[in-house]
Amino acid sequence: MDYALREWLTLGASAGLIATHSLSSENSDTTDVNSQKFGVYGVAHRYGWNMNGYLGGATDAYTTNRNITFGDINRSATGSTGGREFNTRWSLSREWLEGQTLIEPTASAEYNWINSQAYTEGGAGALDLNVGSQKSSSLRSELGARLSREYKLKDRLFTPYVSATWQHEYDDQSQSINAEFQTGGIPFSVKTSDVGRDTALLGAGMTFQCCKRTSLYFNYLGQVGRANFMAHSFDGGLRVKF
């Protein structure tokens, strides 16, 4: 939901639900995250330049499944916990129109902070763990371009796009997970694998403006080429202007 303060300046607020499913290629462990996101944003555009800013957060609900297989033992330990996030993103872009195709080079910076609470596993008997709370952060820069084209369908507007971006991660993504067996013993720490710092972001999507103030949108984003990490995400929604 947004409001045009000036012809060149729009401010708004957003809220949404995001569901994420992660699967380990090593032992089929899974993590499911349901997030309730909220934030405020601004869009300024003048003389072919566009600036976008976002400031927001989220509450997260995690469900984990850890498979334990060695010798004659084959068990699964499950757990659930909550968390919260802080997110901000800022970008600057320039528009060029070539024929009917809009070319938009973009540079952006993004920071995310996540805190997840401690939790207790169940289902694996003596192998269940008490897992400590975790904090992580990510600081990224992006440089890329987006190509889009508008098509008129009677009095409606359909705008598909494709994009390609190079993303670089500045923070260390290897995290230490502190845990202990519920049956007792010495607490221990496991360090996760550090993922690569450079990623190719490949996107595609569309916007369908069904009337003057209302539009539908759908986006796909693939993160590929990053060592020890790959992701695919989809999102869509309804945008209403006032």
For 173-229, what is each residue's pLDDT tens digit? 788 889 999 998 899 998 877 788 999 999 999 999 887 788 999 999 999 988 878
Burial class (CB in 10 A: 0-12, 13-18, 19+), 195: middle
Q: Give the model's pLDDT for residue 194.
A: 73
pLDDT band (50, 70, 90) for residue 148: very high
Q: Give the model's pLDDT for residue 207.
A: 94
pLDDT band (50, 70, 90) for residue 111: very high
Percent of the chain with pLDDT over 70: 100
SS3 content of the chain, % helix, strand, coil (to 5): 0, 75, 20
Q: Give the model's pLDDT for residue 238.
A: 83
Write the CB contacts of 62 (distance below 8 Å, at least 6 apart in sequence).
31, 32, 33, 79, 80, 81, 82, 83, 116, 119
Q: Give the model's pLDDT for residue 155.
A: 80
> Residue 61 in 3-state DSSP?
strand
> Which of 8-12, 111-115, 153-157 is predicted with the least confidence, judged by mean pLDDT?
153-157
pTM of the model: 0.80
Q: Give the model's pLDDT for residue 208.
A: 93
Chain centroid to Cα 85, Å, comes to 11
Q: Give the model's pLDDT for residue 116.
A: 96
Burial class (CB in 10 A: 0-12, 13-18, 19+), 112: middle
Q: Give the model's pLDDT for residue 205.
A: 96
